């Protein structure tokens, strides 16, 4: 039988993409619709950020997360909900007072970063095992904060998707697994091409995949024009895949994409390489979510 490959769609993200694309999901209704439609197109999992409905900027408002999740659940969609915990980790030193963050709300306590997960209890949530330069600012996730978040995520019944952006992050994630903070089998997301992490190349993906602990589930993605080449690379290496408007705005050169179109294109690559696109319940079995034995 063909190997089932789980497609995740990251439907909006928190990047400065509003105004760069005509149809970035911003409101809870738009984000929920993107999730539902992406699942119909073949995504078993959808990775969800929320945005301020007035400005389009990234938000951590729990009421926005709650509305998105309610709309998706009320629709009857079988999609696996994956909520981000990334916001709240940004630091940009003030020019005159370097110990001060330019955006005082850009860096939050680890407890605050997982409150929406504790309240809404998704099956999956991200856990960014990364401290790095992220574009022009720093993305800060120190081990002490990661331990707090991991414990609270486990107590909420969610499975953490360990987002790693370079080889050293894999080693830190393995340490959390060894400490018993992450239940087996761990689930990794290899995030490639983000400035200034590992590049979106076959060599980088192979290096990081080889460093994963035995038995780990993993997916990988590349941003922008590397999105689909990295879909193919991940499938060939035995992993799962991620696409979506968080990572790439175009279906092809000069042609804006929708989330379902990106999912459909990824699904065609998965099938062409001899694998099978996993349905949501199949993904739950494969990834061992909600007590599934697999």
Strand partners, 101: 93
Residues ≥6 apart with Cβ < 8 Å to 268: none
Residue 126, pLDDT score: 98
Residue 216, pLDDT score: 97
Residue 200, pLDDT score: 98
Please give the average per-residue pLDDT across 267-290, as a whole number.
Answer: 96
Residue 1: band (very low, low, confident or very high) from pLDDT cuts 50, 70, 90? low
Residue 135, pLDDT score: 84
Angle at 90 between CA 89 and CA 91, to 5 degrees: 125
Number of neighbouring beta carbons within 10 Å of residue 40: 12
Phi, psi of 95 (to 5 degrees): -60, -35
For the chain, which residues make up each domain, given as ranges? Answer: 4-287
293 pLDDT more than 80: no
pTM of the model: 0.95
Instruction: Give the CA radius of gyration of the chain.
Output: 18
For the stretch 30-33, contacts whose Cβ atoms lie closer than 8 Å and that sit 24 or more positions apart, written own/partner, are: 31/68, 32/67, 32/68, 32/71, 32/72, 32/75, 33/71
Q: Are the beta carbons of 251 and 262 closer than 8 angstroms?
A: yes
**What percentage of the chain carries pLDDT values higher than 70?**
98
> Domain 4-287 class?
alpha beta
* 72-119 pLDDT tens trace: 999 999 999 999 999 999 999 999 999 999 988 899 999 999 999 999
Q: What does DSSP say about strands 240-243 and 217-222: parallel, antiparallel, or unpaired? A: parallel
* 184-195 pLDDT tens trace: 999 999 999 999
Please give the average per-residue pLDDT across 152-170, as a whole number.
Answer: 97
Residue 290, pLDDT score: 72
Residue 292: band (very low, low, confident or very high) from pLDDT cuts 50, 70, 90? very low
* 178-231 pLDDT tens trace: 999 999 999 999 999 999 999 999 999 999 999 999 999 999 999 999 999 999
Question: Can you tell me the distance from the alpha carbon of 120 to that of 83, in angstroms, rounded to the nearest whole number?
Answer: 9
Number of neighbouring beta carbons within 10 Å of residue 91: 16
* 233-278 pLDDT tens trace: 999 999 999 999 999 999 999 999 999 999 999 999 999 999 999 9
* 127-136 pLDDT tens trace: 999 899 988 8
Question: Can you tell me the distance from the alpha carbon of 101 to that of 94, in angstroms, rounded to the nearest whole number?
Answer: 6
Question: Can you tell me the distance from the alpha carbon of 153 to that of 121, in angstroms, rounded to the nearest whole number?
Answer: 9
* 34-48 pLDDT tens trace: 999 999 999 999 999
């Amino acid at each position: 039988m063909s190997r089932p490959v789980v497609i995740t769609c990251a439907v909006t993200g928190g990047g400065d993409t509003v105004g760069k694309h005509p149809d970035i999901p911003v409101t809870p209704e738009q984000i929920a619709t993107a999730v539902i439609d992406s699942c119909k197109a073949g995504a078993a999992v959808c990775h969800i950020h929320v945005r301020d409905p007035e400005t389009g900027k990234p938000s951590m408002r729990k009421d926005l997360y709650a509305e998105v999740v309610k709309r998706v659940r009320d629709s009857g969609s079988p999609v696996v909900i994956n909520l981000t915990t990334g916001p709240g980790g940004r630091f940009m030193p003030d020019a005159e007072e370097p110990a001060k963050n330019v955006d005082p709300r850009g860096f939050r306590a680890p407890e605050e970063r997982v409150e929406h997960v504790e309240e809404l209890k998704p099956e999956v949530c991200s856990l960014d095992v990364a401290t790095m330069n992220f574009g022009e600012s720093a993305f800060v996730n120190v081990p002490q904060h990661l331990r707090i978040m991991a414990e609270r995520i486990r107590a909420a019944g969610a499975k953490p998707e360990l987002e790693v952006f370079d080889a050293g992050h894999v080693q830190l994630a393995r340490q959390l697994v060894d400490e018993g903070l992450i239940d087996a089998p761990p689930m990794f997301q290899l995030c490639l091409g983000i400035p200034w992490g590992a590049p979106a190349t076959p060599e980088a993906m192979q290096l990081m995949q080889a460093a994963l602990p035995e038995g780990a589930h993993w997916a990988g993605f590349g941003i922008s024009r590397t999105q689909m080449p990295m879909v193919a690379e991940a499938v060939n290496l035995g992993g799962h895949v991620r696409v979506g408007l968080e990572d790439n705005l175009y279906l092809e050169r000069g042609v804006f994409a929708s989330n379902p179109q990106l999912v459909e294109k990824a699904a065609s690559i998965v099938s062409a390489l001899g694998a099978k696109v996993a349905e949501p319940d199949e993904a739950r079995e494969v990834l061992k979510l909600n007590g599934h034995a697999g």
